[in-house]
C-alpha cells in the first residue's frame, strides 16, 4: 500500500473507531465522545496496540504517516487559536461586558 492509503487507513481508525464504540456501545450515557476518543487514543498508541500487535502498529503508524498526522494536528491547533483570538478581539471591541 502507498503512504497515502496507509494515512487514510490511520485516519479511518482514529475517527471511526471511537465514534463507532460511542454510538454502537451506547456509551453516551456513561461518557461523552471526547472521553471515548481519549481512551481509544491510548489503546491505539504504542503502549497497547504497539505492544500487542507490533507489526500492525509499525505498518499503520510508520514515520511518513506520523509526520502527516502531526501536520494535521498542528493545523488544528493553529486554527483553534485563530478562532479564539478572533473571538476575543471582537468581544473586547464591542464595548459590552462579558
Residue 91: partners with Cβ closer than 8 Å, 6 or more residues away: 98
pTM of the full predicted structure? 0.71
CA distance 22 to 81: 28
Q: What is the pLDDT along the chain (98 residues), one digit of tens a residue?
A: 889 999 999 999 999 999 999 999 888 788 899 999 999 999 888 889 889 999 999 999 999 999 999 999 999 999 999 888 877 666 555 555 55
Q: Are 36 and 30 in contact (CB under 8 A)?
A: no
CA distance 3 to 63: 10
pLDDT value of position 38: 93
- In the chain, what are the domain boundaries? 3-93
CA distance 76 to 73: 5
Amino acid at each position: 500500500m502507498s503512504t497515502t492509503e496507509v494515512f487514510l487507513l490511520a485516519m479511518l481508525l482514529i475517527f471511526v473507531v471511537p465514534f463507532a464504540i460511542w454510538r454502537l456501545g451506547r456509551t453516551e450515557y456513561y461518557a461523552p465522545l471526547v472521553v471515548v476518543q481519549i481512551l481509544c487514543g491510548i489503546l491505539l498508541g504504542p503502549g497497547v496496540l504497539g505492544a500487542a500487535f507490533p507489526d500492525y502498529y509499525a505498518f499503520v503508524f510508520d514515520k511518513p504517516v506520523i509526520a502527516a498526522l502531526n501536520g494535521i494536528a498542528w493545523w488544528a491547533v493553529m486554527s483553534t487559536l485563530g478562532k479564539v483570538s478572533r473571538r476575543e478581539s471582537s468581544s473586547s471591541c464591542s464595548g459590552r461586558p462579558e
